[in-house]
Structure 1
Amino acid sequence: MRLPEQQTGRRPLSDKMRSVLVVFILFLSTLVVFPQSNNIKDLENKRKLALREIESTTLLLNETKKNTSTLLSRINLLTEQISSRQRLISLLNQEVAAISEQQATTEKEIIILTANLKNQQKSYARAVQGIVLRKQSGNKLLFVLSGSSLAESLRRMKYLKDYSEWRDNQIIDIKQKQKTLEEKKAALEKSKAEKNALLGNREKEQTNLQQEEQVHKQEVSDASKKQKELQGILQTKQKQADNLNAQIEKLIAQEVERQEREARRLAEEQARREKLKRERAERAERAERARREAARTSTKPPAKSEEPEEEEVAPKIERESPREREEVAMATPTVTAENFKLSSNFAANKGRLPMPVTGSYSIVGRFGTQQNSRWRVTTNSNGIDIQARSGAQARAVFGGEVSRVVAFPGFNNCIIVRHGGYYSFYGNIQQIFVKQGQKISAGQALGTVYTDSDTGNSQLHFQLWQGTTKLNPEPWLQK
């Protein structure tokens, strides 16, 4: 008694090959889905950041009083808000497109899985039907014993065992495919819901953008009517900024020169001590040679070395205490290592430095030269202006030492912090929490940002320097 050809192992092998092919296709599609998922997650994070920027700007706008002196600040805030809103809408569009692409991939996977599952179920059903029709389950022993030889009977016995395992594996495989198919369908429904939510958000943000553009247009119109007055305000602020820039450049140059001078002094002191140390060793060696020579040629005790000569050469060293000698000897390597470490760590943290203000903020003044055609004024800044909420604190962007605490007209109290070969400047401070020469850590509060009682404005002016070279702070800060 023989089983049909379709039950002798060929169909199980064919189904296995088909399953492997489906798994391979799904694996290839997974390689596409994973980057898509990462891209969607990245877009979602950027969208949340843009939303936080919009929320911060809205808070600052609500706190800024509407009068002539704040018109420019309000226009800058609105410009930032519109820019953030446009970026948000662009990110929403990208996120919708990415989800649509992911949906198309998932739908293809569902089609492949469904077709494969149906074929596998039909194949399994035919195999089970063949067993029922031929009553193979009741004639297994007869099927084995009816072999023409012992070898054939053993082969039939192995076949029955393999066939039974195949049936069990088919059941497991079918159940797994059904589960995977259900998960794919659930993921598709979820992505459709996310896409619909994003489309709703996009429509709402577009409406908000139109409203903000109308407000911005009205603010600009109001400002245009007071152009001469605003030009005067801008020119006054630019003069103050120019004076500040000149003073900061001078202070930074003095600080760099002082550090270089101190480093040279310590290096020269160390070199002098090393030279005296070598000379002492040479004299001691000469005296020892003379003693040995005298001992070999005479029974008389050797003459003492001329120690007074050493006293004359380095009397200062002998008068110093051991503690003083240790401090001077170690001064150069300690300072050099500290500066090098601070500078290296500071440079390595580019793009990760914390914002120099606490709470909500908005950058309303950019680094470098800005051409303002509307007000016919060219402004230049060595740093950025960050608008914060009333009561916000200025905080150190990195660990270091307070180098200077000074006051400048139009910028109130100002603080310079040295980070090895880098310097950070914080202007428009009201209450100061630190003092010159104090060691500070990253994020430590330096003082409260000055708030103008007439306008409600709280702006911190922030600069960043590498030696005497001014840097654009924005790429260094984490937003």
Structure 2
Amino acid sequence: MQFKIYFPLVLMVLFLSTNLQAQNSKRQQLEARRTQIQKDIVYINALLSNTKKKETNLLSDVKDLNHKIKAREELISVISSESKELNNEIYVNQLEINKNQRDLEALKKDYADMIFKSYQSKSQNSRIMFLLSSENFFQAYKRFQYMKQYTSFRKKQGEEIQLKTKRLQALTDTLKIKKDQKTALLNEKKKEQTVIEKEKKEQEVLLSQVKKKEGDYKNQIQKFQKEEERIDAQIDRLIREAIAASNRKAEGSKTTTGTATASTSTAGTSTKATFTLTAEAKELASKFTSNKGSLPWPVEKGFVSTYYGKQPHPIVSSATIQSNGVRITTEPGSKARAVFEGTVIAIQVMSGNQKAVLIQHGNYITVYKNLESVFVSDGSKVSTKQEIGTIFTDRVTGKTILGFILSKNTETENPASWIYRM
């Protein structure tokens, strides 16, 4: 009857114990992620708080606050996941403790029964009589061996009880640690929720101010968007010129049609130009592709303040923005660095004397916009993480923002798919 009651429980313990190692690994990953987000929040707060603005920009203030809130929301989400994993570990730990307590009680009962029976026949005379009453020498030898084994078994039972007791104590200590960790996590979550509630109230106040002048801000956004489109058009032209020059060089004096300037296909009124790759360029492109998802950031420290693609403006919802890359906010004086080895194919001077550097990696191109100064020249070979220029710091907003674009031939791709944990 007891077997029928405990067997499903034993199976559950075995199943959960099997998954405990995987759960521990997952929780360790969540813990590492939580630690990293906490560092990111400190960095973002320090970076945005230390930005000295010469004039107030309400949109910039709201956007800064949005970044802080987003980071805290991610932290709360990770804490919740970590707490859930910890709950699973506590549950499995408690099942293990219950099982060990039952095992220990059964061992102690068996041991007590054995000691009692041993006591009843403990006298030396009883043992001697047990041997002397043997019918022959062989039976006496067997009885002697049995007495030795019985004594040994008693000793092992005692040792097993000691081990079980230590195991139970260790499990109990571990359970207490895990419960303390859970309490700490819940306290941290509560603290973050208090902060985020305060920030959201501040956000509501700022958004109500934005709403009053939404039309003016929408015009401001559209003006910025047009300037971005103009710059992106210049970059697209530079890439096409680089493709044409590279293909002419690769083809030499050949007049083969279809490869000198393009393998072209129509997309509206524009064409998709592609590089004719040499064997060396193909190898570089292959290496670049194999590093997808693990390329280093184009800055040493920073966070993404504008993401890739068409999206509603994060503050003025009636406005739409199109970003061919990402914008990364970083510290004043920060350097842009190449995300992979390659060759500088162009350096473009933009309005306001800001510069853009284009680097070719086979048939992939990375673009680094909004540079105040550059350390490379057209045709330079660069290595991974090599510094290529100083990022421009806006004198009005105090912001230092790098524009980063990644494209395959003339088609832009989402940098977040390529850069490690972007």
1:414, CA displacement in angstroms? Answer: 0.7
Question: Structure 1, residues 407-461: CA drift from partner, whole Å, max 9, x if none?
Answer: 1125711111111221110000012112222222111111111001222011100
1:69, CA displacement in angstroms? Answer: 6.5
SS at match of 1:416: strand
User: What is the 5 A alignment of 1:307-322?
Assistant: none
Structure 2: segments with no counterpart, 5+ residues: 1-6, 256-276
CA, structure 1 residues 126+426, in 2 after alignment: closer, same or farther (shift >3 Å)?
same
Verify the 8 A CA contact 1:240 1:410 in the aligned structure 2: no
* Counterpart among 338, 348, 363 of residue 396 in structure 1: 338
* Counterpart among 416, 421, 431 of residue 373 in structure 2: 431
CA distance in 1, matches of 2:321, 2:396: 24
Structure 1: segments with no counterpart, 5+ residues: 1-19, 269-334
Question: Structure 1, residues 290-327: CA drift from partner, whole Å, max 9, x if none?
Answer: xxxxxxxxxxxxxxxxxxxxxxxxxxxxxxxxxxxxxx
In the alignment, does 2:303 pair up with 1:371? Answer: no
- Structure 2 counterpart of 1:371, which letter? P
Question: Percent identity between the aligned chains?
Answer: 30
Identify which range, 384-393 or 225-234, moves more after superposition. Answer: 225-234
In the alignment, does 2:116 pair up with 1:129? Answer: yes
1:382, CA displacement in angstroms? Answer: 0.7
CA distance in 2, matches of 1:24, 1:169: 27
Partner of 1:201: 188
SS at match of 1:380: strand
Partner of 1:341: 283
- Structure 2 counterpart of 1:364, which letter? S
- Structure 2 counterpart of 1:44, which letter? E
User: What is the 5 A alignment of 1:7-406?
Assistant: 27-65=14-52, 70-135=57-122, 139-265=126-252, 336-359=278-301, 361-372=302-313, 374=316, 376-406=318-348
CA distance in 2, matches of 1:233, 1:366: 19
Partner of 1:441: 383
SS at match of 2:394: coil
Q: TM-score, normalised by structure 1?
A: 0.76
Verify the 8 A CA contact 2:358 2:366 in the aligned structure 1: yes
Verify the 8 A CA contact 2:55 2:396 in the aligned structure 1: no
Question: Structure 1, residues 150-181: CA drift from partner, whole Å, max 9, x if none?
Answer: 33223323322322332232222222211111
CA distance in 2, matches of 1:352, 1:471: 15
CA, structure 1 residues 105+427, in 2 after alignment: closer, same or farther (shift >3 Å)?
same
Identify which range, 70-79 or 430-439, moves more after superposition. Answer: 70-79
Partner of 1:421: 363
Verify the 8 A CA contact 1:408 1:414 in the aligned structure 2: yes
- Structure 2 counterpart of 1:446, which letter? I
Report which of the two structures shows the higher radius of gyration computed on alpha carbons. 1
1:79, CA displacement in angstroms? Answer: 1.5
CA, structure 1 residues 71+138, in 2 after alignment: closer, same or farther (shift >3 Å)?
farther
SS at match of 2:365: strand
- Structure 2 counterpart of 1:431, which letter? S
SS at match of 1:123: helix
* Counterpart among 468, 474, 477 of residue 410 in structure 2: 468
Verify the 8 A CA contact 2:131 2:140 in the aligned structure 1: yes
- Structure 2 counterpart of 1:183, which letter? A
Identify which range, 83-92 or 44-53, moves more after superposition. Answer: 44-53
- Structure 1 counterpart of 2:288, which letter? F
CA, structure 1 residues 388+266, in 2 after alignment: closer, same or farther (shift >3 Å)?
farther
**More helix by percentage:** 1
SS at match of 1:135: coil
Question: Structure 1, residues 325-354: CA drift from partner, whole Å, max 9, x if none?
Answer: xxxxxxxxxx84432332222222222122
1:86, CA displacement in angstroms? Answer: 1.4
CA distance in 2, matches of 1:416, 1:452: 22
Partner of 1:8: none
CA, structure 1 residues 115+401, in 2 after alignment: closer, same or farther (shift >3 Å)?
same
Verify the 8 A CA contact 2:23 2:89 in the aligned structure 1: yes
- Structure 2 counterpart of 1:165, which letter? S
- Structure 2 counterpart of 1:253, which letter? R
RMSD value over aligned CA atoms?
2.7
Q: TM-score, normalised by structure 2?
A: 0.85
